[in-house]
Chain A
């Protein structure tokens, strides 16, 4: 980072547009943490691009004083991939929601992750369609009553982190809209990662799905429902930090510390594990099944990025074949001369 760059503040990242999310929406907090975090990176504003799809969260780029594109429903990863391939010098963020990323855009999400394009995806998960006023989403729990499921949803919900790990994401993390320090730190880790960073943020829609995450945000009970991951540390949680996660065969189990269970008996978090097995196991832990839900970085491993690979291959071919010459290309096959004729 060059020292003569002007020091930016959160305010420098605010665009002149009025924010139109509902008062009390969790999106405000995510926006605030993003603006607060970005100056830490030392990346000039003009080198940052926010790309979004459609939905409440996807209005995000309009509120950032960076470059931005509010694209079409579900396709933000595809725009971002093309942009990053064209301009590897840019820092590219994809802002998306549970409907945008996991329903209409599921295909693109899968492919951007498996390619490991060097960009950052932040998925605002509010478990509802907000912009269209309250239909169930791919992360709504089974049985959820919404405008389009008056008798309860029959669908099995999709787990965003399990999907990301299944696509062999190189960076997978989760945070919560109101857990602001944690959120800022998680976004910063995502920005620093080389490759596709995937961050799920539990986000409250106070109009159409208020309290969907209250078990993880209510200060009286959240400690029993959240497992804050730290690399190399045993998995301990609970208000009194007296509970832990232990592996029983292939299955995790919740155990109480003391009573014959030592810290060393617990699972230790290893975000750098080459195999995605541990990250997958963590992603599967759900409150409904009696587990705390992990937040923080589940997985962060190094792997060559797609954009680097594309450039490297171009360079390699250029070294092998030399800079392309159109006049030579056109004459590479059989050619023949037509002479001027006397008529």
Chain B
């Protein structure tokens, strides 16, 4: 490929330095916004920026074309400082059609850059988006830096010379499929992003099978860049310097990918085979897909006939001695409830993953929510407490997977891992660890006993864990089951006192975990006016809001819960150091309910169930109100 000016990224226009920017690409769900969004993410990460992403797409694979329901968006914040969220208000917005315009324009800040594909604002396009007139003509847009670009026609021109293997030029449909890369080209010019990683991606993906497609997209990308450089529409472009991350080798990870990697790593560290029984469900399926690649790592994936079979197969594998887990989202977890109770009473180690989505019922499959916390805590019949751990960000999934297995195997108890759609599909830079330096997970199984000795499958060690005796071990033959167990022997028992005793022990096991997990850490003042308490995927928004509040002189601390069951041993003490406690959640107050019930603290709530993560500004606004109340 010949070297062109844009490979060296020399713009002849003025360049302004920025600390960071928030950009959203929005178009029809068939427009390839997710693809170019992840390319922009990669490119920005490779440029050394800290990045955080928020892909937002409809549940339908191909919603009716051009409609508001079919809009797919990809938001990205890249920065020279460390960031925890994909950003609130947009610095730049690309809209590929009127529907994308109307559903996204509200998030663009005043004087932000609005790039619109004016070719797709014809009457028929407006009608599909339920608009009477062309919004690009409206005076309301004067507050933005509107740049109308005929992206479709420019893309067609850019790719007009490309010939396929038969020597024919691309059809209109194929040519139009390149317009997302034209849009990406403009954004790359605007923010001084290198085109090289994207060109390499196109060659890797299409170079062999469809060199014409690789060439056409590359031409569209470069044409977009050239357009930014030569058209008299943009006054300047921007540069974002690398972030000051901890030294090391980095790669970009998405939440589900990091989770899968963390699981394989945990299996490796504990010298176990990983067994994953699952049934496809949004947004957890990528974990199954990712793990199914790892056959040469000793990973067995089983796509079961349903959610129930998925968890039951995992329990069977756990009995057999594997590091077993099942994964799903809320509706699937509901189906697994009975089997989770069985796994608990069997006291076998295993993991149960819930990548939460909007509920109830089928709810909002592709949108994020934190509304399965109480399901995780209580969604089983009888007294069946289980430990619950929640990931806070995409890369954190890697650590959470290991920690969950460490606790599960040590205490012989199933552990629930909560993630959510926002974490699962979001991406961020991850400092690659050296596997040899990670802490091993030690697991032991009892061997055969001497003649005259009796094996007691429900005897316990100091952690109250019972022995994990594996089938195949001579003299340890025993039977497990869902009927109440007699203490020590594990035989069926209907004895009233035994049932009380075993119920107490199963709760005590969960409670004791509090003594081995890390205490909750506080960022900000150790005591003061307000503590913001968060869990799961709202971490980034909460920590950022609290930092800003402190910058504005407010006495605000932030604590984030990794374990929801049990709560860290020092939590009560921490909560009592502040005049008020605010709990922001993407549900109607589930952690609040638990905190209020357990600690009798008058925590106040900030709740939202719109299928979207918190904006930093939403939390900051509420922090101000809480602080004002104290004045």
Contact = CB atoms under 8 A, between A and B. Distances in A.
Interface string A99-122: 000000001101100000000000
A66 B244 CA distance: 60
A329 B258 CA distance: 11
A36 to B, nearest CB: 18
Interface string B265-279: 100100001010100
Nearest to B248: A338
A7 interface: no
Contacts of B246: 338
Given A79-B313, A85-B313, A69 B480 contact: yes
Given A82-B317, A336-B46, A87 B472 contact: yes
Contacts of B346: 69
Contact of A51 (B297, B316, B477): B316
**A54, A334, A337 — most chain B CB neighbours (10 Å):** A334
Contacts of B339: 72, 75
B471 A49 contact: yes
A19 to B, nearest CB: 12
A338 B247 CA distance: 5
B477 A67 contact: yes
Contacts of B492: 17, 62
B473 A46 contact: yes
A85 B251 contact: no
A16 to B, nearest CB: 8
B295 A313 contact: yes
Contacts of B571: none
Interface residues of B, number: 70
B338 interface: yes
B250 A336 contact: yes
B559 interface: no
B312 A61 contact: no
A326 interface: yes
Interface residues of A, number: 63
B197 A334 contact: yes
B76 interface: no
A15 interface: yes
B482 A86 contact: no
Contacts of B481: 61-62, 68-71
Contacts of A78: 304-305, 308-310, 312-313, 316
A339 B247 contact: yes
A83 interface: yes
A192 to B, nearest CB: 20
A326 B315 CA distance: 26
A61 B435 CA distance: 42
Nearest to A321: B296
Contact of A334 (B252, B309, B473): B252
A326 B264 contact: yes
Nearest to B309: A78
Given A62-B492, A339-B247, A83 B317 contact: yes
Contacts of A322: 296
B311 to A, nearest CB: 8
A73 to B, nearest CB: 8
Contacts of A65: 477
A51 B431 CA distance: 45
Interface stretch (B318-326, B355-363, B617-625): B318-326
Contacts of A284: none
- B-side interface mostly: mixed
Nearest to B269: A326
A161 to B, nearest CB: 21
B384 interface: no
A72 B482 contact: yes
Given A82-B315, A336-B46, A323 B338 contact: no
Interface in A318-343: 318, 320-324, 326-327, 329-331, 333-341, 343
B479 A310 contact: no
A324 to B, nearest CB: 3
Nearest to B433: A330
Contacts of A216: none
Contacts of A233: none
Interface string B212-254: 0000000000000000000000000000001011111111100
B483 interface: yes
A338 B314 contact: no
A90 B300 contact: no
A86 B350 CA distance: 13
A46 B317 CA distance: 16
Given A82-B277, A82-B315, A89 B432 contact: no
A338 B300 contact: no
Contacts of A329: 261, 264
Given A65-B477, A71-B312, A78-B308, A331 B249 contact: yes
Interface string B482-497: 1100000001100000
A86 B324 contact: yes
**B42, B309, B346 — most chain A CB neighbours (10 Å):** B309
B302 A81 contact: yes
A324 B296 contact: yes
A108 B483 contact: no
A86 B477 contact: no
B324 to A, nearest CB: 7
A330 B277 contact: no
A314 interface: yes
Contacts of B480: 68-70
A107 B245 contact: no
A67 B244 CA distance: 56
Interface string B340-371: 00100010000000000000000000000000
B42 A82 contact: no
Nearest to B348: A69
A72 B309 CA distance: 11
A45 interface: yes
B471 A330 contact: no
A183 interface: no
A51 B273 CA distance: 22
Nearest to B244: A341
B543 to A, nearest CB: 21
A44 interface: yes
Contacts of A324: 264, 294, 296-298
B475 interface: yes
Given A85-B275, A331-B432, A338-B246, A70 B483 contact: yes
10 contacts: A62-B491, A67-B478, A69-B316, A70-B481, A78-B305, A86-B316, A90-B472, A108-B312, A331-B249, A341-B247
Interface of A: 15, 17, 44-47, 49, 51, 54, 61-62, 64-72, 75, 77-87, 89-90, 107-108, 110-111, 310, 313-314, 317-318, 320-324, 326-327, 329-331, 333-341, 343
Given A46-B474, A321-B296, A324-B296, 19 more contacts: A49-B471, A61-B481, A62-B491, A67-B471, A69-B480, A71-B481, A72-B338, A78-B310, A82-B315, A86-B316, A107-B309, A111-B309, A318-B296, A322-B296, A329-B261, A334-B252, A338-B247, A338-B249, A341-B244
Instruction: Give the top 3 A-B pairs by smallest Cβ distance, nearest first.
Output: A70-B481, A82-B313, A82-B316
